[in-house]
A and B are shown apart, each in its own frame.
Chain A
Amino acid sequence: MLLELSSDQEIFRDTTARFLTSRVPISEVRSLRNHPAGFEPDYWREGAELGWTSLLVSEEHGGGSVSGGGLVDLTTIAHEFGVHAAPGPLVPTNVVAGTLSTFGGEAHRPVLESLLAGTSVAAWCFGPAVDTDGRGPAGPRCRIADGEVVLDGVQRPVEAAGQAHHILVTARAEGGLTQILVPTDTAGVSIEPMRTADLTRRFAAVTFDGVRLPVEALVGEPGDADELLEYQLQLAVVIGNAEAVGALQTAFDMTLQWAFDRYSFGRPLASYQELKHRFADQKTWLEACHAVNDAAAAAVDDRSPDAKELVSAAKAFIGDYGSELVQDCVQIHGGIGVTFEHDLHLYLRRVTVNRALYGTPADHRQRISTVLENRKERV
């Protein structure tokens, strides 16, 4: 998160921080482990009132940012989600709300309103947003004929599919990538819960078997979703990263405190140079994680030409170095660090799951090399 927030941003962030502290303390997060949705509906509704789902939505549609940069503002919320290991589908709901506000038609307006009000959440099937070199299922396909869209195929994992009323699906059509807003109760949609490394977030495998919808369900121009999908991916990555960085911040702070409190051989762990140097590395990586994701968020808000490479650099760096950082926190905790009783794993889980979603670090390094390749001239 930025070292300097404006006073409006600071108030905005702090309101969510206080809400999360009181509504989902760690004891509550632990008890949500067995909750089918992972969160209570009124928790999400009250969060929406604090602005959790409105930042990427235009003012005309009832949204609006705090600072003019909606994604930068949203990263302050996502950061607090990470700091508190808080539940709730922040990434998919915001991606879908932002998309419906910019590209959705009149038919989508009621859905957008319910997302803004927090009375429903949304899921997002991003399909082939990241080239994974042939790994994983091919993703859904669709045909458009006689005023209808027919959708087939499987997507997994999809965050919050089991809790959402709508899924924004990316499908391959003859003309190219196409996006469709699918109500989850449509005939032919089946949602199979999956197991996950996170305690409170829920993922599912979604199957579309001859799902038929009127063409009004299309979002944007059919066959023309490539750019839109790229933009959605950038949003998703930046929000997920901000959450991971919040979780890293808590894990680091806890571990530093532990090093002062825990003694071995008559000295605090914090007095051993070997451990001090590891904390110095951790601190450096942590600051670097903050820095690159904040720069990526600003670049996406500004639609800057370097947004793609910054977003992928942030994902690759936070994925790799963030994982090493939090695993080293476990290491420095010793035996207690691998127990369920200790809280460290709540943050380890967040960082771990976010690393694997929306493209792995290796996938994003490939994306960066594609950016480099497309720079024709030698530099």
Chain B
Amino acid sequence: MTDAIEDVESFRLRARTWIRANLRPLEPHETLAPTLALPVQTEEEELAALARERELQRMIFDAGLAGIGFPREYGGQGLTTDHQRAFNAEIVGYEYPARLQAPTFSPCGAVLLDFGTEEQKRRHIPAILKGEEIWMQLLSEPSGGSDVAAALTSAVRDGDDWILNGSKVWTTGASTADWGLCLARTNWDVPKHRGLTVFILPIHQPGIEVHRIEMLNGSTEFCQEFLTDVRVPDSDRIGDVDGGWTVGTRWMFHERMLFNSPFVSIPVGTSPGEVGAASIVNVARDTGRFDDRCVRDLLGEAHMLELVGQTLRRRIGRGVAAGRISEQSAAITRLFAGVSSARKATIAFEIAGPAGAAWTADDGAAASCGDDFLMRQTSCIGGGTTEMARNVISERVLGMPRERTPDRDRPFRDVPRSASNRA
């Protein structure tokens, strides 16, 4: 590189100046209550919120602040995780396009950057950074999400195209997204990891039926897709034919590294998809229990978990970036985030007292702690379960013996399946 990279402090100042002049400070009620991912909204509300986010993202792009870790030739800033961290500190307390961050910028954008052809990158990354394309991940299937490499969705070559058939599920925001990153099986006669290929495809097209799924708190952002003879040109293949697992491994790495990524903006002190410790303080205030020594103990614990989580992410992120520890170590931050978020949801629920069972708007931050408690385990399931993280840590990081895997050296078509998926 000929021109020197902007230093972090001058970038920070530039971001601060622009954010304060152009973005709306959040109202207290917008950051008030603990919330897990997937808010309960009507479809119109959801679409309006997304339209606003696209608009915000375009403003950020025009200001030269979008895509901090993406290279300049694709519309990004070509900067580092430290710059992203500075931005994350400056964006605290301001409106920002929260939903575009994941999975659009990462893992989807990050995977395109790692494996996309020059043409694919030029076509999609600038569009992503301008807020024009919202992406989602077509990874999990009804037959299983943990064992991602056992995908049953098939892709069959037809001239210059591929024909996809199958079903994907638990996809967040599919009904409002534009493009999807999709893992499919292209070869059934080799062991499972060697017969996968990754494709990109527009979600809204005749062969794809998208159904919303209601979650137990009433949110309908979860979806299932049915793919019937969906035609994808070979130019929309990502990585090599049957090389999907190489792509998939990186894909999951980006997913586990979300909180420590140069691609994603997450205001400091918040953890999307988690109950934040700061909002638990509000629960204590609104229930008038701040002076209770037991409640203070719980608040201390929640804030402790948050600080430890932040410092752990930084340690692992730097260690991976510097090559001191393997990429598999990202599973450590994933496990900690899942378990500590579940604990924080319990703490919020505990402090809310009876308002956790029944509430009105007068209960302030204590309202909906009950709903959040019902949704508590999402933090240990979404993005790969905590059990999978424990397998990765023990087997890949600590080198302990692998679990028995009868599917390892067998052609995938001969591998035993769940009762509901047998042919």
Report if A and B associate in a common complex.
Answer: yes
B31 to A, closest residue via Cβ: A379
A367 contacts which chain B residues (CB < 8 A)? 300
CB–CB A316/B318 < 8 A: no
B29 to A, closest residue via Cβ: A378
Interface residue A362 (Cβ < 8 Å from any Cβ of B):
yes
Interface residue A48 (Cβ < 8 Å from any Cβ of B):
no
Among B112-120, B244-252, B291-299, B413-421, the stretch that binds chain A is: B291-299
Interface residue A13 (Cβ < 8 Å from any Cβ of B):
no
CB–CB B315/A271 < 8 A: no
- List CB contacts (< 8 Å) of B63-105 with chain A: none
Interface residue A256 (Cβ < 8 Å from any Cβ of B):
yes
Known contacts A276-B395, A277-B387, A313-B303; A271/B400 CB under 8 A: yes
Please encode chain B, from 217 to 254, with 1 for each CB lying within 8 Å of some chain A CB and 0 for all others.
00000000000000000000000000000000000000
Among B145-153, B197-205, B306-314, B366-374, the stretch that binds chain A is: B306-314
In angstroms, Cα B124 to Cα A287, docked, is 37
User: Shortest CB–CB separation between residue A28 and chain B, in angstroms?
Assistant: 31
CB–CB B315/A291 < 8 A: yes
Among B156-164, B170-178, B319-327, the stretch that binds chain A is: B319-327
CB–CB B314/A291 < 8 A: yes
In angstroms, Cα B294 to Cα A365, docked, is 10
Please encode chain A, from 261 to 283, with 1 for each CB lying within 8 Å of some chain B CB and 0 for all others.
00000001011010011011101
Count B-side interface residues using an 8 Å CB cutoff: 48
In angstroms, Cα B318 to Cα A3, docked, is 9
User: Shortest CB–CB separation between residue A132 and chain B, in angstroms?
Assistant: 12
User: Shortest CB–CB separation between residue B304 and chain A, in angstroms?
Assistant: 4
In angstroms, Cα B311 to Cα A101, docked, is 31
CB–CB A256/B398 < 8 A: yes
Among A115-123, A194-202, A234-242, A368-376, the stretch that binds chain B is: A368-376
Which listed residue (B31, B312, B335) contacts A291, Cβ 8 A? B312
CB–CB B336/A369 < 8 A: no
Interface residue A227 (Cβ < 8 Å from any Cβ of B):
no
B316 to A, closest residue via Cβ: A287
A283 contacts which chain B residues (CB < 8 A)? 332, 393-394, 397-398
Interface residue B390 (Cβ < 8 Å from any Cβ of A):
yes
CB–CB A365/B314 < 8 A: no
B315 contacts which chain A residues (CB < 8 A)? 3, 287, 290-291, 294
B28 contacts which chain A residues (CB < 8 A)? 378
In angstroms, Cα B307 to Cα A287, docked, is 13
Interface residue B379 (Cβ < 8 Å from any Cβ of A):
no
Known contacts A365-B301, A367-B300; A292/B307 CB under 8 A: yes
CB–CB B301/A316 < 8 A: yes
Interface residue B389 (Cβ < 8 Å from any Cβ of A):
yes
Interface residue B278 (Cβ < 8 Å from any Cβ of A):
yes
Interface residue A42 (Cβ < 8 Å from any Cβ of B):
no
Interface residue A327 (Cβ < 8 Å from any Cβ of B):
no
Interface residue A27 (Cβ < 8 Å from any Cβ of B):
no
Interface centre among B28, B32, B304, B314 (most CB of A within 10 A): B304
B303 contacts which chain A residues (CB < 8 A)? 309, 313, 368-369, 371-372
In angstroms, Cα B389 to Cα A273, docked, is 12
User: Shortest CB–CB separation between residue B383 and chain A, in angstroms?
Assistant: 16
CB–CB A3/B319 < 8 A: yes
Known contacts A4-B324, A259-B400, A284-B336; A365/B296 CB under 8 A: yes
In angstroms, Cα B304 to Cα A364, docked, is 10
Interface residue B378 (Cβ < 8 Å from any Cβ of A):
no
B32 to A, closest residue via Cβ: A378
CB–CB B394/A3 < 8 A: no
B398 contacts which chain A residues (CB < 8 A)? 256, 276, 279-280, 283
In angstroms, Cα B405 to Cα A271, docked, is 13
Please encode chain A, from 281 to 324, with 1 for each CB lying within 8 Å of some chain B CB and 0 for all others.
10110011011101100000000000001101110110000000
CB–CB B401/A3 < 8 A: no
Please encode chain B, from 263 to 306, with 1 for each CB lying within 8 Å of some chain A CB and 0 for all others.
00000010000000011011001000010010011011101110
Which listed residue (A273, A279, A317, A362) contacts B308, Cβ 8 A? A317
A368 contacts which chain B residues (CB < 8 A)? 299-300, 303-304
Known contacts A133-B293, A287-B312; A365/B269 CB under 8 A: no
Interface residue A9 (Cβ < 8 Å from any Cβ of B):
no
A316 contacts which chain B residues (CB < 8 A)? 300-301, 304
CB–CB A270/B401 < 8 A: yes
A256 contacts which chain B residues (CB < 8 A)? 398
Interface residue B377 (Cβ < 8 Å from any Cβ of A):
no
User: Shortest CB–CB separation between residue A360 and chain B, in angstroms?
Assistant: 11
Known contacts A280-B389, A366-B293, A372-B299; A4/B400 CB under 8 A: no
In angstroms, Cα B32 to Cα A379, docked, is 7
Known contacts A256-B398, A378-B28, A379-B31; A281/B390 CB under 8 A: yes
In angstroms, Cα B401 to Cα A312, docked, is 37
In angstroms, Cα B324 to Cα A294, docked, is 17
CB–CB B308/A291 < 8 A: yes
In angstroms, Cα B422 to Cα A240, docked, is 58
Which listed residue (A133, A268, A273, A292) contacts B312, Cβ 8 A? A292
Known contacts A273-B403, A366-B297, A367-B300; A295/B314 CB under 8 A: yes
A268 to B, closest residue via Cβ: B401
CB–CB B281/A372 < 8 A: yes
In angstroms, Cα B267 to Cα A379, docked, is 12
CB–CB B318/A292 < 8 A: no
In angstroms, Cα B325 to Cα A259, docked, is 22
A3 contacts which chain B residues (CB < 8 A)? 315, 318-319, 322, 324-325
Please encode chain A, from 337 to 372, with 1 for each CB lying within 8 Å of some chain B CB and 0 for all others.
000000000000000000000000010111111111
Interface centre among A287, A290, A312 (most CB of B within 10 A): A287
Which listed residue (A290, A291, A366, A373) contacts B290, Cβ 8 A? A373
28 contacts between A and B (CB under 8 A): A3-B318, A3-B319, A268-B401, A276-B390, A276-B398, A279-B400, A281-B390, A283-B332, A283-B393, A283-B398, A292-B312, A295-B307, A309-B307, A313-B303, A313-B304, A313-B308, A314-B308, A316-B301, A316-B304, A365-B304, A367-B300, A368-B300, A369-B303, A370-B296, A378-B28, A378-B31, A379-B269, A379-B279
Additional A-B contacts beyond A279-B394, A292-B311, A313-B307 (19; CB < 8 A): A4-B319, A276-B400, A277-B387, A281-B335, A281-B390, A283-B398, A284-B335, A284-B393, A287-B312, A291-B312, A312-B300, A313-B303, A364-B300, A365-B296, A365-B297, A367-B300, A369-B300, A379-B278, A379-B282
- Contact surface of B with A, Cβ cutoff 8 Å: 28, 31-32, 269, 278-279, 281-282, 285, 290, 293, 296-297, 299-301, 303-305, 307-309, 311-312, 314-316, 318-319, 322, 324-325, 329, 332, 335-336, 387, 389-391, 393-395, 397-398, 400-401, 403
